[in-house]
Amino acid sequence: GENVEQHPSTLSVQEGDSAVIKCTYSDSASNYFPWYKQELGKRPQLIIDIRSNVGEKKDQRIAVTLNKTAKHFSLHITETQPEDSAVYFCAASINAGGTSYGKLTFGQGTILTVHP
């Protein structure tokens, strides 16, 4: 089945710096890649996603890039703010055929701390 590896497990930055979180996946059939933010004690919430026919997507201070050949994708947060502090999860999903159809697999998470 699909395996998603996420790095780093913890990331500490100063306010205003950029943060980058990287994920790799194992199944070349994966073609949907969402990112979730989870604040302490809360549910995960979708912040951005990318589909395999797109190489990059931006939404204000966050962006995601995808390299299907290398099977990796990354989350970029610019001008970080203390409220960006949370756990971030990447995930990968296969959308057609095979035994993993419809299954969303998560990475292990990255604890991001933004220091004022």
Partner 1 sequence: NAGVTQTPKFQVLKTGQSMTLQCAQDMNHEYMSWYRQDPGMGLRLIHYSVGAGITDQGEVPNGYNVSRSTTEDFPLRLLSAAPSQTSVYFCASSLSFNYGYTFGSGTRLTVV
Distance in Å, CB of 116 to partner 1, minimum: 26
Binding residues for partner 1 restricted to 24-83, rule: CB under 8 A: 31-32, 34, 36, 43-46, 49, 51
Considering beta carbons, is residue 34 or 86 the nearer one to partner 1? 34
> Which residues are CB-neighbours of 64 under 8 A, at least 6 positions away?
33, 35, 48, 49, 50, 56, 57, 73, 74, 75, 76
Q: Is 113 in the site for partner 1 (CB under 8 A)?
A: no
Distance in Å, CB of 19 to partner 1, minimum: 18
Q: Is the peptide bond before 8 cis (omega within 30 degrees of 0)?
A: yes
